[in-house]
Structure 1
Amino acid sequence: MFKRVLIAEDVDIINSGLKATLDELNFSEIKHVSYCDEVLLHLKKGVLEHKPFDLLISDLSFIEDHIPQKIKSGEGLVKQVRGAFPNLKIIIFSIEDKPFRIQNLYKNLRVNAYVWKNRNAQIELKKAIHTIYKTDDFYITQDLKSAIHPKKAIEITEYDVNIIKHLSNGILQDDLPKLFIEKGIKPSGKSSIEKRLKFLKEHFNANNPTHLVAIAKDLGLI
């Protein structure tokens, strides 16, 4: 079983019931942090001290307070952790049930499990931990399995990222065709870009390009 577990959760894990659940599994150490930036510090410290963490359990939402943070969301955290610790097992433990967020975590950020905070959350968390310890299979709460069904899944392509990234850099939508031609990004036609941008806004429930960029940043897509 996993030995050292790091929990990223900005609520009291004792009151949330999470610690009681994990205590039953007899881990050697359970470390709780309330801020995303602290996660990377503890993971790096563990490696330097030759006592690496085996498992990260993280929420997606973190409430901002008086302490400024470079990493502000669970997706942003996972993106950073995956870059520095590609083999670390990661479980997302969240109330979020939007398919596009789960798909991004599953397909692009390669988390090992997604546990929904519902009435069966503690049972599901135990199952997730045992599953990813014994296998390389992705575990997801039964009620959310449809979120990663191939018919519902959306693949965010490099083309999509290019559209959103250039919008985030202040490029106007009408100027994208010319820029794409200069950079050799295809398709570069105005209608193709408008069609894909319309699809992305609808899929992510974005009101406008600015809102889409904000969502993409929260998800760690750009």
Structure 2
Amino acid sequence: MKKEKKSILIIDSCPLICEAYKSVINSTNKNEDYLFDINLVHCGKQGLEIINNASKNKTFFNLIILELKFSINYQKERLSGEDLSMTIRKTFPNTKIIISTALDDNFRIHNIFKTINPEGFILKKDLTSKDFKNAICSIFNNEPFYSKSILKLLRKEISSTLLIDRIDRKILYELSIGARMKDMPNYVPLSAASIEKRKRHLKKIFNVKDKGGDRELILVAKEKGLI
């Protein structure tokens, strides 16, 4: 019986993690149903070069596993994991993506689901070899896989009856990282008056009294997994 070839690209700045991922992937092939071709890359720039070359040569990746945050040197080149993921989606729309990251940021996670919608999403703090093996098996069976922290966030969002849009989320996020109201129009595409109006509306739907201030608003938003 001819083995099915699986071409896999792993992009993570830690060589040890790359080797661990490769080992776990190979361990899922006990019956030797697949012929794995696994490439390991330790920076975003090199990953982008491999993706562009594959596109030119009309080759294909079945699965790409990548981190969101690369080393400082490559961050200076303004290449993020989100940027690379979006390039992958455009270049190889049928390639499955697993994001495995240490970044525990609900706002970014929400945006990644909206813009990329990866087949797998794992927070490294949840990760065990068993969970990663389950992720690989699920993806090969055309089933999505999300680690427990991601599932917890998704459940919070689904159970919430509050209707807020991406601008509201952006306002909450900027407030949570210390942005001052006078500076908010630099980060949110609205006037200061419109931002203030939205903030009052958010306090109303979150049942936050004005005297509670922004701190209570942010705490409630975090409890609901919105930031």
**Short-chain TM bin:** 0.5 to 0.7
2:42 paired residue number: 34
RMSD: 4.3
1:183-215, Cα deviation, whole Å (9 max, x unpaired): xxxx947422665696996657xxxxxxxxxxx
Residue in structure 2 matching 1:4, options 7, 20, 44: 7
Identity between Structure 1 and Structure 2 (%):
22
Q: How high is the TM-score relative to the length of structure 1?
A: 0.65
Residue in structure 2 matching 1:114, options 121, 128, 141: 121
2:63 paired residue number: 55
Residue in structure 1 matching 2:102, options 70, 95, 99: 95
Measure, in 1, the Cα distance between the counterparts of 2:131 and 2:196: 47
1:82 paired residue number: 89
Aligned residue identity for 1:146: K
Q: How high is the TM-score relative to the length of structure 2?
A: 0.64
| Contact 1:128 1:139 (8 Å CA) reproduced | yes
2:136 paired residue number: 129
1:7-66, Cα deviation, whole Å (9 max, x unpaired): 110111467522211233454311111221222221221132232111110112222138
2:21 paired residue number: 18
Secondary structure, aligned partner of 2:14: coil
Measure, in 2, the Cα distance between the counterparts of 1:84 and 1:122: 30
* Superposed displacement of residue 86, structure 1: 2.9
Larger Rg: 2
Aligned residue identity for 1:192: R
Measure, in 1, the Cα distance between the counterparts of 2:136 and 2:21: 13
Aligned residue identity for 1:95: A
CA gap 1:63/1:52 in 2 versus in 1, 3 angstroms: same
Aligned residue identity for 1:100: F
Moved more, 110-119 or 93-102: 93-102
Gapped runs of 5+ residues in structure 2?
173-181, 204-213
Gapped runs of 5+ residues in structure 1?
165-171, 182-186, 205-215, 217-222
Secondary structure, aligned partner of 1:86: coil
